[in-house]
Amino acid sequence: MNSIDVQELTKVYGTTRAVDRLTFGVRPGRVTGFLGPNGAGKSTTMRLVLGLDRPTSGSATVAGRRYADAEEPLRRVGALLDAHAAHGARTARDHLRVLAASNRISVRRVDRVLEESGLAAVAGRRVRTFSLGMRQRLGVAAALLGDPPVVMLDEPSNGLDPEGIIWIRELMTRLAREGRTVLVSSHLMNETATFADHLVVLGQGRLLADAPLREFLDARSRPRVRLRTTAPDRLRSALARSGFALEPGDGGRWTVDGAKAEAIGATAAREGIPILELSDEQPSLEQAYLDLTASEAPFASMSPTTRQEA
């Protein structure tokens, strides 16, 4: 199976334990979001998987083998680690042709990935004239060149405009649907929630969570209902009898903490109270993540950074 398997992986740089006895698996057919604040060890882990750095101890394998031992590695794992990796004096097409030649990949495939990444019209331009977003697209094109069963992308939405963000999200979903193994790192929680099926969460090089997105959210968020009504006083009294409190929310709405929409709807119907709008609040990955890391004292100070996300 084309899984990525990380076993007791440790990487020490001087006095920094960048990755600390990390064990997790990334399975095919789903997008795995690789989350953690800056410096948590995501890039180091990806570099270790790709054999670009040697582990201090432990192992990282792709389909049961060390990536460094692979012939024609682009056909096994496609990776975007650093958008500035391309040679600035080369055109985008030449950059991809050089990569293709070293992995016995056809020139036809170069044109295909240029199309797929939206770069066909600028393929003849030198890479140094590219914006960060265009470089990211070129990095993704290079990752897809070998039509690999395993794809690893480090912060792929970095520098992309809204159209680019939708493109990368759809691309990742499609790659997973095709049965590939997709690992995508990000420190943008709510963005990750739009495409990830599964999460691996790191903090200070250690594993904090390895769970399906839905499970991760449900385990860490308290249900909450948002509603609009023309009779808040009557509803407040009715809910109080069931032990719920009606609190003012934004935009003329009300919220009920710790409740599900069905329960509140049933109470309102029983009492004949008009309800104009009623929904369960969607738990936010950012909030669930902050709740998780808040219990890890060393990470509490990371909250303001992660809160910067729009």
Ligand X SMILES: Nc1ncnc2c1ncn2[C@@H]1O[C@H](COP(=O)(O)OP(=O)(O)OP(=O)(O)O)[C@@H](O)[C@H]1O
How far is residue 272's CA from residue 211's CA, in Å, rounded to a whole number?
42
Token pair of 74 as six digits: 């682009």
- 14 vs 248, which CB is nearer to ligand X? 14
- 114 vs 191, which CB is nearer to ligand X? 191
Q: Could you tell me how far CA 142 lies from the centroid of its own chain? A: 20
8 A C-beta contact, residue 1 and residue 28: yes
- 25 vs 39, which CB is nearer to ligand X? 39
How far is residue 290's CA from residue 35's CA, in Å, rounded to a whole number?
12
CB of 51 to ligand X, least distance (A): 15
- 282 vs 301, which CB is nearer to ligand X? 301
Residue in the block written with tokens 């759809």: 170
The three-point CA angle 30-31-35 to 5° equals 140
- 38 vs 230, which CB is nearer to ligand X? 38
CB of 81 to ligand X, least distance (A): 10
CB of 60 to ligand X, least distance (A): 13
8 A C-beta contact, residue 125 and residue 91: yes
How far is residue 304's CA from residue 306's CA, in Å, rounded to a whole number?
6
8 A C-beta contact, residue 256 and residue 229: no
CB of 155 to ligand X, least distance (A): 7
- 43 vs 157, which CB is nearer to ligand X? 43
- 16 vs 91, which CB is nearer to ligand X? 16
**Dihedral pair phi/psi, residue 159, rounded to 5°:** 85, -5
CB of 38 to ligand X, least distance (A): 3
How far is residue 267's CA from residue 56's CA, in Å, rounded to a whole number?
60
**Counting beta carbons within 10 angstroms of the beta carbon of residue 15, is it exposed (0 to 12), middle (13 to 18) or buried (19 or more)?**
exposed
Angle between helices 232-241 and 261-271 (to 10 degrees): 110
- 187 vs 224, which CB is nearer to ligand X? 187
CB of 145 to ligand X, least distance (A): 24
- 97 vs 187, which CB is nearer to ligand X? 187
CB of 217 to ligand X, least distance (A): 22
Residues within the interface to ligand X (CB under 6 A): 13, 16, 18, 36, 38-44, 187
CB of 257 to ligand X, least distance (A): 33
CB of 282 to ligand X, least distance (A): 25
How far is residue 213's CA from residue 226's CA, in Å, rounded to a whole number?
23
How far is residue 45's CA from residue 10's CA, in Å, rounded to a whole number?
9
Cα R_g (the chain), whole angstroms: 23
